[in-house]
Amino acid sequence: MATLTVPTTVPSVSEDCEQLRKAFSGWGTNEGLIIDILGHRNAEQRNLIRKTYAETYGEDLLKALDKELSNDFERLVLLWALDPAERDALLANEATKRWTSSNQVLMEIACTRSANQLLHARQAYHARYKKSLEEDVAHHTTGDFRKLLLPLVSSYRYEGEEVNMNLAKTEAKLLHEKISDKAYSDDDVIRVLATRSKAQINATLNHYKNEYGNDINKDLKADPKDEFLALLRSTVKCLVYPEKYFEKVLRLAINRRGTDEGALTRVVCTRAEVDLKIIADEYQRRNSVPLTRAIVKDTHGDYEKLLLVLAGHVEN
């Protein structure tokens, strides 16, 4: 469930553009007006605003925002204003450029988007960077990480609910054998995780637990410091329980000494129109604190206000 709230009656696109133009004119910027408009428009509406703004004023809205805003608030607004596929392309490009073995953003995008969303992100990557996401992932990653990430970002999974129980049984046995042998990057382990439908993987992992007594992720914790195993565990979590994966990202982002604004911004931006309500429920269940209260405690100013709006917080 999404947390984004869009008014029942939305002003015309030209009116939104006019108001945004006003927010940039005169002394100072009216950040509240930017939040009120962009923070309550869905992706289709935001795309139309960007198109109309460029046609009316001869300027890209993103460039206008970039000139007027700064710091974490600017990053949040600019990411939010992007089309979801463009945003994923940008996040993926940043992840390849700054890639380290603990960076899980590429896997997150590959495993939590639908087949079409991932395809559109790859197409947006072509348009924006004049090369493919696959070639950048291959160029910037190495070893077992490349072996897993490349097929994940190249994937186009079947999305039906049909499940082959015989296949689930066979592949659960296969996964158990490979993990028991510590062959974590075996071709078959990666093949199953990178190509099977989410419904099929769920059936396989349920059979794994029933047959062998442990969640697969428990068996993948042989070495807690091994970053490839950490990536494998997160891959499983993203495919089967994305809300638990995102809850952990938020927990680590908000509960550290010093907030990880990059992770907080990314999760709120990318999930507000998808399932942030489910993630927030999981966050409250796990931490006994509402997500919005945690955001208030760790952020401030216009950045905090827009995060709260996107997280569905309603002022009493």
> Sign (positive/negative) of CA torsion 172, 174, 179, 181?
positive
160 has binding-site annotation: no
Does 256 count as an annotated binding residue?
Answer: yes
Asked whether residue 298 is marked as a ligand-binding residue, the answer is yes
Q: How much of the chain is in helix, strand and coil states, percent to nearest 5?
A: 70, 0, 30
Q: Is 201 annotated as a binding residue?
A: no
296 is in an annotated binding site: yes
Question: b/e per residue, 287-300, with b = 16+ CB within 10 A?
Answer: beeebbebbeebbe
Q: Is 32 annotated as a binding residue?
A: no
**Alpha carbon distance 202, 190 (integer Å):** 15
26 annotated as ligand-binding: yes
278 class by beta-carbon count within 10 Å (0-12 exposed, 13-18 middle, 19+ buried): middle
Q: Is 75 annotated as a binding residue?
A: no
Element (H, E) at 78: helix 71-81
285 is in an annotated binding site: no
Indicate the length of the chain as a whole number: 316
- CA 206 → CA 165, 182, 210, 248, distances in Å? 11, 21, 6, 22
Q: Is 246 annotated as a binding residue?
A: no
Residue carrying structure tokens 């089967």: 240
The answer to whether 254 is a known ligand-binding residue is yes
Binding-site residue ranges: 24, 26, 28, 68, 254, 256, 258, 296, 298-299, 304
Binding-site residue ranges for Ca(2+): 24, 26, 28, 68, 254, 256, 258, 296, 298-299, 304
